[in-house]
Structure 1
Amino acid sequence: MDHADGNELFSVFQVLVVARWIHFSSVFVLFGSAFFWFYMDDRRRFAGAGGLPRALHATTVLLRVAAPVAAISGTVWLAGLLANMTNGFGSVIDPEMLRTFFWQTQFGPVAILRLLLLAVAVLVVLLPSQNRAFYSVILHIGALLLINQAWLGHAAEGGAGAYGALMLVVYSIHVLAAGAWVGGLPPLLFALVEQRHFNPSEARDWTLDILSRYSVMAMVAVTLIVASGIANAGFRVGFSFGRLLDSDYGFVLATKAGVVFTMLALAFFNRFIAMPRLRAASTAGMAQIARLRASVAFELVLGLAVLGVAAVLGVTPPPQ
């Protein structure tokens, strides 16, 4: 391989990582941010009356941005996959190569379905409504996009049969749980920001209610993330975890685990230390709410960092 070919392959790698990072983030938003409003368990919030109209509107705007971003980055990701398979971007504009990719490879049908789902998502977010039905459609499209990812990554390498199916199921559980956790952080932050317009007593009660509902979901999600994450790592190395040592894949995986652990520590602090302090506070609890907002914002930043590391992990070959 000459120097030019090496540079092109490196650029393909860069495009894949950035496109995956942006795509994962936007799809997580589609699923997790829509899901947030369902476990809040208050139908008035969808109507915006007597609830959190500003937070709901901000979430709707975010969804309307996330859908086209997901469509564009998803298309670039698929183009990067094709370029990676053919050692260059020239194949992306080759009609014969495109026909082969979409109709004669195992990725083709999955890619076509993904593009259709992304197109539907873009069309749906153009609708003026922000009611329960609107959010339900976005939620289901986001879930299907997350599950569809399993056939475009390492999880698809298990082959046919029960073992391969189990790998796909475990991966799907992992990304759905992660999408619910990380994707739910933006509307949670929007809701906490809206508390500034409430009187102190009402703000404290609303904040405790919202955080309690989110934390219950997050505890279930984190349990699934950890269990499925261990299983996913095991699948990649045939459950010989020693292979992860001194490998690029093991290093990236350890980095991802470290950031996730930091998120867990922060979530633990919010749930078991910050929330009890707010519950015990008097009407002066607005300072506690402000600290919780900052903590959730930092957790969101960490979540985006995890997705960035996951984007690198997905294009890093596991140790053989």
Structure 2
Amino acid sequence: MESFFVLATWLDVMAISACAGVLACAIWVIPRHAPGYFHARLWAGLGIALALLTVASGVLLASRTLEFSGAAFSALPTYLPLVVHKTHFGLIWQTRMVAVAILWVCWLVGFVRGWRGAAAWLAMVVLLVVVFSRSATGHAGDQGIYSIGVWVDCVHVLSSGIWVGGLFAMSLLVFPALMRQVDVERMLSVEVFARLSSVATIALIAIVVSGVYNAWGGLERVDDLWQSRYGQVLSFKVILVAWMVYLGGHNRYHKLPALRRWVGLPVGRSSFWARVPGWQPLSTAPGGAHLLSRCARAVHIESVLGVLVLAAASVLHHGMPPADMRHMGFAPAPAVAVVVPFVRQGSQA
């Protein structure tokens, strides 16, 4: 049953990330002067992401109902109405579903000529309500749904969604179309890739700051990173994020300058970054299609790593942080050699 709880959480954060990433690409990455089919592909992708979010919200409700009641799947019809109408989670879940309905309205309004930009901005604001429902019903909400921890966690969830979800959107929706037009849309290729790098950098800064705050509140001691199962999973997540950062930096300081040289744009001095292993100046001889394909391949790898990061975050959501265990008078669970057993040992919704 614990595996189902983790899976429901993973599906939920994946759906939130998909929505945040598509909206971020529509608002900040793809410029307005780009051909219409880029915007059309993103808006169609948003519809798929919203469908996933709708399903995830239903699965999350079922998961929390089973956690609260301790009942089997067959008892869901009995306990679902009680959870929805009689619990704090049920009230937040109802608010979340209203937000999801508004997101669908925004998506439909976006098909009206000239209204898509405003609809995307409004959808991003409404998505914050969904993110709040995620944070307020997790560990961050233990100190109150309006505590500083909840707001910090909202920043962490949304910025993570923009970063990881943006990679999803670029991999599945933007790069396939861009690769077909790389020789025609040379300047657009460079601009899109530069915009993606800037958005990812800003999101990463927010992720690191909010993540350090959350980690310190959950661990309290540095040695908890390797002496508790919670810390072990967190360490695994940090390693994955560090790998993604390296790949993103490689794109920004290694491949992007080559793309700029390919289209004849000036490239600033990069003597420092050239010393990083694997970041030496890249030749433009193979051509723009080859350069862009290398960029896309790196983004694809980052996307896969992002899926694993969200999976680790879902496991953490269902484990009790060492700091909470100490405050309750329990000793933190000892670390084990592998991460998988922790999934079956989680102790808190």
TM-score range for the pair, normalised by the shorter chain length: 0.7 to 0.9
CA distance in 1 between partners of 2:3 and 2:206 (Å): 30
8 Å contact from structure 2 (residues 99, 126) kept in 1: yes
CA distance in 1 between partners of 2:153 and 2:228 (Å): 22
CA distance in 1 between partners of 2:165 and 2:28 (Å): 13
Match of 1:302 among 290, 305, 321: 305
Q: How many residues align?
A: 296
Amino acid at match of 1:143: L
TM-superposed CA distance for 1:126, in Å, is 5.0
Match of 2:119 among 134, 143, 167: 134
Partner of 1:178 in structure 2? 160
TM-superposed CA distance for 1:232, in Å, is 0.4
Amino acid at match of 1:78: L
Partner of 1:54 in structure 2? 37
CA distance in 2 between partners of 1:199 and 1:157 (Å): 50
Partner of 2:294 in structure 1? 291
8 Å contact from structure 2 (residues 41, 174) kept in 1: no
Alignment of 1:76 with 2:59, yes or no, is yes
Residue 317 to residue 139, structure 1, CA distance change in 2 (3 Å): same
CA distance in 2 between partners of 1:41 and 1:128 (Å): 16
CA distance in 1 between partners of 2:304 and 2:82 (Å): 40
1:304-319 aligned within 5 A:
304-319=307-322
Partner of 2:347 in structure 1? none
- Residues 253-307 of structure 1, C-alpha deviations (whole Å, 9 max, x = no match): 1111111111111001000111112223358222111111111111111112211
CA distance in 2 between partners of 1:253 and 1:52 (Å): 42
TM-superposed CA distance for 1:184, in Å, is 1.5
Residue 91 to residue 199, structure 1, CA distance change in 2 (3 Å): closer
TM-superposed CA distance for 1:41, in Å, is 7.1
8 Å contact from structure 1 (residues 31, 143) kept in 2: no
Residue 175 to residue 274, structure 1, CA distance change in 2 (3 Å): same
TM-superposed CA distance for 1:248, in Å, is 1.6
CA RMSD of aligned residues (A): 2.3
Please, what TM-score do these two structures have when normalized by structure 1? Answer: 0.84
1:105-124 aligned within 5 A:
105-124=87-106
Alignment of 1:22 with 2:11, yes or no, is yes
8 Å contact from structure 2 (residues 110, 120) kept in 1: no
Match of 2:76 among 92, 112, 118: 92
Partner of 1:39 in structure 2? 28
Gaps of 5+ in 1: 1-10, 45-50
CA distance in 2 between partners of 1:125 and 1:42 (Å): 19
- Residues 91-123 of structure 1, C-alpha deviations (whole Å, 9 max, x = no match): 5221xx445433443322211111222233345
CA distance in 2 between partners of 1:300 and 1:141 (Å): 25
- Residues 112-140 of structure 1, C-alpha deviations (whole Å, 9 max, x = no match): 11122223334544557162233233322
Match of 2:84 among 102, 110, 113: 102
Residue 209 to residue 14, structure 1, CA distance change in 2 (3 Å): same
Partner of 1:259 in structure 2? 240
Percent of pairs identical after alignment?
A: 24
Amino acid at match of 1:277: A
TM-superposed CA distance for 1:196, in Å, is 3.0
Pick the structure with more helix per residue: 1
Gaps of 5+ in 2: 263-283, 326-349
Please, what TM-score do these two structures have when normalized by structure 2? Answer: 0.78
Partner of 2:189 in structure 1? 207
TM-superposed CA distance for 1:180, in Å, is 1.3
Amino acid at match of 1:132: G
8 Å contact from structure 1 (residues 32, 179) kept in 2: yes
CA distance in 2 between partners of 1:209 and 1:43 (Å): 12
CA distance in 1 between partners of 2:175 and 2:80 (Å): 47
Amino acid at match of 2:36: P
CA distance in 2 between partners of 1:228 and 1:234 (Å): 10
